[in-house]
Every structure is written in structure tokens, then in C-alpha cells.
Chain A
Amino acid sequence: MKSLIKQLVETPGPSGFEYAIRDVIREAVADYADEIRVDALGSLIAKKGTKTDEGMRVMISAHIDEIGLMATYIDEKGFVRFTNIGGVSPLTCVGGRVLFMDGTRGVIGVDGIGWGKMPKLSDLFIDVGATSKEDCPVKVGDVCGFERPFIDLGKRMVAKSMDDRIAAAVAIEAMKRLTSTPHEVHFVFSTQEEVGLRGATTAAYGVDPQVGFAIDVTRSGDTPRTNPKMATALGDGVAIKVRDASFIADPRLVDWMVKSAQEAGIPYQMEVLEAGGTDGRAIQLTRSGVPAGCISIACRYIHSPSEMVDSDDVENAVQLLVKLLSDPIILE
């Protein structure tokens, strides 16, 4: 699974520009899906299973976009000014490296403010090694992602876009292991989550599910000097979301997820995220409403170029997802 994760996290795919990562995923799910389609906003939807009497049409959503940057201005000397795509902090930009969709590489510099001061995004620029505006290969509107290789620390793994490629990996692995399901499952690899859950919004309308689950990363409270500490921690099991800032998970599903984890002996932890949203909201509020939940993976340093997750949590997330999709869904 780690080689799949490495391939997923190292492919660039800022929101709205997911074609490269979509191609990787199309290839990865080809053998396990009964049917694959791409919708108007670029989400890849892989269907698996046939609905039986006790089954439902289920949507699983893992977003494949990541935060990134877009060029807004090339100055006379060939420096590239940029704006953010999704939640990019200037704190994690300085000294960072970026990769444009056409393969152009660059580094992020800053000047004009004192050392140790917090820059604004408008203080920063990308240097692609150009000597003038004329020989700068970047044009206004070009898009880049952060560049940082995957590193395997054994139990822990680090990469630039664990948010949310780790969820894509979980979904793909679950598709692979899911041998029998009473449900018609639509695995949605959604786009434009980081700019407002846009891909999941239209995908949910199209799939018209009876039940849905997002898979996403969540924050962890296990780093030094975070106070008061959020209750989730790396290695404490797959996280079952009760709420985040965007939606309240259906309490019937939450109870069922907890019972399922307990039954199967899968380590789990409860999650209440006070900031941030997930595709679960988009599923819950589509059409006339859908019971929706979310499987989370605790992650440190979210939206930095080095996001860290725990391998056991990832494995537990796969196991829980497979377990949930193998059983009839009980809403009571």
C-alpha cells in the first residue's frame, strides 16, 4: 500500500487542476471498479457492487485535490507573484519548492520584511530561475503545487498532500479488499474540496446516494504545547467524526460506526473538529438530504508540505471502511 501512497502523494493536483492525479487514480481503480465515469467538475466516480434487498446506494468521498498556488503577475525581472488555491499559510511557504503543471520548478522567496516577521502571501514570490519577464516560462494563470517527496518513517509516513491522498489510498485499498457487499457503492474521488467542497457537491447530486461517508484527515492534539489539546492523536485508531465546522455527522451512523468498530475489534477514537470542513457536508445537504458520516485519519501539520499520518491508523481506516461496506447499514 505504501508504494500506492507514494505515487498518490507525489502527483501534483491543486484544486481545479486534478487531471494528473485523476489519471493515476483511474489506473489504480480500473481492476476493482464495475464502472468508471468523470463528472462535469472532474470528479472520478467508480462504482462497485450491486444493490441487494438489504443494500443501499452508498457514496464514499475522498478528495483528490490539494492546496496550491496560481501565478498572478510576472514582474520585469521574471519573479512570479501568486495567489493561493485553498488554505495556504505564508508560514509554510518560505523556502518551499513548487512544481508547475508543465514541469517547471521554482522556489518561494520573500523580501521586504524583517527576519522573524510573519509575511503575507503578497510579500512572497516564486523564483523559477528566470532572468527577465521574457524568459520566464510561467504565465499568469499557471498553476503549481508544493513539491516534497514522500518519506517513510516506518510507523509514520510524511508527505505534502496526505490531505487527502491518504484517503484516496484508503478508498482504493478498500475497493480492492471488498469482496462482497450488499450495496451499490460509488467511490467518488472528488475535486475542489479545498476551495469549498465543490466537487463533492455536484457528485453527490449526481450519485443521489441513500447514505454517504467522507474520508478525510483530521487534526491531532498530540504535538508539544498545543493547549487545550484536541482529543485525537496519531496511532490511537481510526477517527469517527461526530462533527466538524461544516456539518454534524448523522448520530445514527456514528453509533453504527462505533458498534461496527467494536465488533470487529478495530481501534478507533471519537473526533470533534472545531475548524475545517469535509465532503460529508456536501453529501448530507444534497437534494432532500442524506444521512452522512466521516471516517477520519489523524494527521499532524495539515496544510504544510510535511503532513504526517500513522500507518496503523491508515490500516484501521481501511478495515473499518471494508467492514462498514460489507454489512447492511443500520440507521436507528
Chain B
Amino acid sequence: MIDLLTHLKEMLSAAGLSGFESPIRKIVQEAWAPLTDELTVSKIGSLHGLKTGQGEQPRKRVMISAHMDAIGMMVTGIHDGLMRFTEIGGIDHRILPGQLVTVHGREDLPGVVVQPPAYLLPEGDSDGPVEMKYLLVDVGLRPDEVAQKVRVGDIISFAQEPLELTGDAIAGHTLDNRVSVAATTLCLEELKSREHHWDVWAVASAQEEETLGGALTSPFDIRPDIAIVIDVCFARGPGSSDWRSIPFGKGVGLGYGPNIHPALFQLFEDKAKELEIPYHRDVMPRMSGTDAMAIQVVAEGIPCMVLGIPLRYMHTPVETVSLKDIRRAGRLMAAVIADLAPDALEHIKWEE
């Protein structure tokens, strides 16, 4: 049995910014090696794990896409040993001052995000938020040493350690979307002890936060018949109470909107009801903001489902998730996949 907390904490302590996924890929590779029949790396860094189905050839293919890349920052300039930076992925500059970070130079350097005093900034005496371009990172080294160890283009990741909160809640950076990778691991583990007709392609996708690059490219080779995209969704919490959020720790989100094939939504809803796994319909009137946006329009088009794990404080270093919802997501995916009959595709149609 995989220990979810240990597995997750290991992933949360690894870097792996969009476009620079190798540290996290290695960890996922190790976790998935005993659970899959074949592991390959795509040309732009997504991890593809194939778990062969027991059905007769030719078997249908289901792809799970869980992006493994993280948001973070990148050095744009070095001045007197302090670094200026830009973002990778979307970061609210107001959450940055005082954050512990790691600068990945010629070696990893611990650092902190510094907010200069107002009189050093163009606004003079303002106490408003400081724009990202004026924030700095200090790694505690003298300028000559920084010049040797850091160059423009080096990446910076959050260094917040994961925290266990009460009630099975965990907090840390990059829970978006390592919790979904963890749910995929649980799903693969469960499928080990169950028969499934279809081939399962588990993909830890790259570059979701920047270009959806992994999701645009991996399905082109795999050509799945259907795809399950698993990502985090908004949980209700401070500052997040409207229709875009679902309750925290009380079940998974089932995406509903143009990126999602209605027959797949139905399949998931029926299975959740059958297994009494709590869920919420997560309405996405336009784009889902997930890998499904890309996967759906690859080649001749791929029917997609979006499964969500509710998360608070998205894109901060203290994202919070309930372990219960990760387990639910893994179990639901495994149940849906295991129950895909060889001819299930004939029921995933538009004219219902």
C-alpha cells in the first residue's frame, strides 16, 4: 500500500517548474514504475505510463492527464547580488514579500523575497502593493559569489515546507497539481488488483501552467479514445465563496461545460452515486482552465472529462487540500476505468 501522505510530501518537496519538470518527473517515475508496464518520457518532458488492459486487442485507450509542473519564478537580472525576477505561471505579486524560495543556480541557493522600502521605489511614500518588477530575491551571498552561481534565466521555486493541518488537511506549495498526480498514483495502485479491459495511459503532463504544452502534445502520440483530466478546483474559503467554488473536503468536483463530453460526465456521476462518493457539479461555462482545453482539440478531437480536487488559496505557497478528496478522486477514476466495457465507446455519443 502506498502511503498517500509520504508520497505527496515527497512530491511537494521537489521543484519542477513549467518547462523544468525533471526533478518531479524522477519522483513520479519511481512511484509509477511498479504500477505500470511501460514508462516513457515525451519529447517535451511529460511522463507517459502505460498499464496494459486485459481486454482483447485492439484495446481502447483511456488517458489520465495530471499536470506535474509548478508555478514559480525566473531570474531576469542581478544587481549588487540581489536578483530581479519574473513569474512562471500566474502569481499574485501581493503574496510574494517574505516568501522563502530556492534559487536554482549552478547550485541550489536558499533565498527570500524582499520588498524594498517605499523610498527606493518610484511611488515614493506609497504603502500599496509592490509590483513584481521591483521585488528582489536575496540569497545571503556577496555579489561576487552570486555572479558565479546565478545567471539570468535561472529558476526560483517556493521553499515552503508542507504542513499537516487538522482533519486530514495538508498545506504547502504546488498542491496544484501534485495532489492530482497522487490521486493518479492511487488509481493505478487500485487498478493493479482489478481487471480492466482498456489500456490506461497515465500522463504526468508538463507545462500546463504556461502553454498547456504537455496536453497539446502527449495525446498526439497516444491517441486516446477518451481522456480524464484531473486538476485542482476552487474550494470555498476566505475570498472564494461564489458559484466557482465547491465545498472543502466534502467531495470531488465533476466538471460540466464545453470542454467536457456530456456522456463522460454522466458516466462519472453515475459511478459516484453508485459508490456513494460525494461529488459536486463544477460548472465551467466557457473554458475549463485545465489540460482538457488542449486535449479536446488534438488531432480529430478527444472526448474529455474534468475531475477536480477542491483546493483553497490556489497559486500561493500555502495551498490547502483534504486528503479525503484525493483518495475519493483516485477511487472514482479507478472504478470508472475498471468498469469500461470493451464496447463502452459506443455509448460515449452525442446523440443521447
CB within 8 Å of B: which residues of A? 221, 227-231, 242-243, 246-251, 254, 269-272, 274, 281, 284-285, 287-291
The distance in angstroms between the C-alpha atoms of A230 and B152, with both chains bound, is 10
Residues of chain A lying within 8 A (CB to CB) of residue B220: 287-289
For residue B221, CB closer than 8 A to chain A, the reply is: yes
For residue B184, CB closer than 8 A to chain A, the reply is: no
For residue B13, CB closer than 8 A to chain A, the reply is: no
**Sample (12) of A-B pairs whose CB atoms are under 8 Å apart:** A230-B77, A231-B76, A270-B153, A272-B74, A272-B153, A274-B86, A288-B217, A288-B220, A289-B42, A289-B218, A290-B44, A291-B43
Contact call B86/A285, Cβ cutoff below 8 A: no
Residues of chain B lying within 8 A (CB to CB) of residue A250: 19, 44
The distance in angstroms between the C-alpha atoms of A287 and B221, with both chains bound, is 8
Segment at the interface with A among B2-10, B208-216, B303-311, B334-342: B208-216
Contact call A272/B152, Cβ cutoff below 8 A: yes
B residues 261-281 with Cβ under 8 Å of A? none
The distance in angstroms between the C-alpha atoms of A281 and B217, with both chains bound, is 12
Contact call B42/A242, Cβ cutoff below 8 A: no
Contact call B43/A289, Cβ cutoff below 8 A: yes
The distance in angstroms between the C-alpha atoms of A274 and B43, with both chains bound, is 25
Q: A243-B153, A272-B75, A288-B220 known; A228 and B134 CB under 8 Å?
A: yes
The distance in angstroms between the C-alpha atoms of A151 and B14, with both chains bound, is 52
Residues of chain B lying within 8 A (CB to CB) of residue A228: 76-77, 84, 133-134
Contact call B44/A284, Cβ cutoff below 8 A: yes
Q: A248-B207, A251-B20 known; A288 and B221 CB under 8 Å?
A: yes
Residues of chain A lying within 8 A (CB to CB) of residue B42: 288-289
The distance in angstroms between the C-alpha atoms of A140 and B156, with both chains bound, is 51
- For the complex of A and B, the 6 pairs showing the least CB-CB separation, nearest first, are A248-B19, A242-B153, A289-B217, A289-B44, A270-B152, A288-B221
Residues of chain A lying within 8 A (CB to CB) of residue B20: 248, 251
Least Cβ–Cβ distance between A206 and chain B, in angstroms: 15
B interface residue count range (under 10 / 10 to 19 / 20 to 34 / 35 or more): 20 to 34
Least Cβ–Cβ distance between A145 and chain B, in angstroms: 31
For residue B59, CB closer than 8 A to chain A, the reply is: no
CB within 8 Å of A: which residues of B? 18-20, 42-44, 46, 74-78, 84, 86, 88, 122, 133-134, 151-153, 207, 210-211, 213-214, 216-218, 220-221
Least Cβ–Cβ distance between B269 and chain A, in angstroms: 32
Least Cβ–Cβ distance between A33 and chain B, in angstroms: 27
The distance in angstroms between the C-alpha atoms of A231 and B154, with both chains bound, is 13
The distance in angstroms between the C-alpha atoms of A269 and B152, with both chains bound, is 9
Contact call B213/A231, Cβ cutoff below 8 A: no
Contact call A229/B153, Cβ cutoff below 8 A: no
Given A247-B211, A248-B19, A288-B221, 10 other A-B contacts at CB below 8 A? A228-B76, A230-B76, A246-B211, A248-B210, A270-B152, A272-B75, A285-B216, A285-B217, A287-B220, A289-B216
The distance in angstroms between the C-alpha atoms of A102 and B44, with both chains bound, is 45
Q: A228-B134, A274-B86 known; A285 and B152 CB under 8 Å?
A: no
Least Cβ–Cβ distance between A286 and chain B, in angstroms: 8
Residues of chain B lying within 8 A (CB to CB) of residue A251: 19-20
The distance in angstroms between the C-alpha atoms of A221 and B218, with both chains bound, is 37
Name B74's contact: one of A221, A229, A243 (CB within 8 Å).
A243
The distance in angstroms between the C-alpha atoms of A228 and B120, with both chains bound, is 12
Residues of chain B lying within 8 A (CB to CB) of residue A288: 42-43, 217-218, 220-221
Least Cβ–Cβ distance between B262 and chain A, in angstroms: 28
Contact call B153/A254, Cβ cutoff below 8 A: yes
Q: A228-B84, A243-B153, A288-B43 known; A272 and B76 CB under 8 Å?
A: yes
The distance in angstroms between the C-alpha atoms of A271 and B86, with both chains bound, is 12
Least Cβ–Cβ distance between A30 and chain B, in angstroms: 33
Contact call B217/A287, Cβ cutoff below 8 A: yes
Q: A230-B76, A272-B75 known; A289 and B213 CB under 8 Å?
A: yes
The residue on B at minimum CB distance from A272 is B76
Least Cβ–Cβ distance between B59 and chain A, in angstroms: 20
The distance in angstroms between the C-alpha atoms of A56 and B344, with both chains bound, is 41
The residue on B at minimum CB distance from A292 is B44
The residue on A at minimum CB distance from B213 is A285
Of B20, B42, B43, B133, chain A has the most CB atoms within 10 Å of the CB of: B43
Residues of chain B lying within 8 A (CB to CB) of residue A246: 211
Contact call B77/A284, Cβ cutoff below 8 A: no
Least Cβ–Cβ distance between B217 and chain A, in angstroms: 3
Contact call B153/A271, Cβ cutoff below 8 A: yes
The residue on B at minimum CB distance from A274 is B86
The residue on A at minimum CB distance from B151 is A270
The distance in angstroms between the C-alpha atoms of A289 and B294, with both chains bound, is 13
Contact call A271/B152, Cβ cutoff below 8 A: yes
Residues of chain B lying within 8 A (CB to CB) of residue A272: 74-76, 86, 152-153
Contact call B152/A231, Cβ cutoff below 8 A: yes
Residues of chain A lying within 8 A (CB to CB) of residue B122: 227
Q: A243-B153, A270-B152, A289-B42 known; A284 and B213 CB under 8 Å?
A: yes
Least Cβ–Cβ distance between B63 and chain A, in angstroms: 13
Contact call A229/B86, Cβ cutoff below 8 A: no
The residue on B at minimum CB distance from A240 is B153
The residue on A at minimum CB distance from B22 is A251
Residues of chain B lying within 8 A (CB to CB) of residue A281: 211
Least Cβ–Cβ distance between A299 and chain B, in angstroms: 17
Residues of chain A lying within 8 A (CB to CB) of residue B88: 243, 248
Contact call A242/B152, Cβ cutoff below 8 A: yes
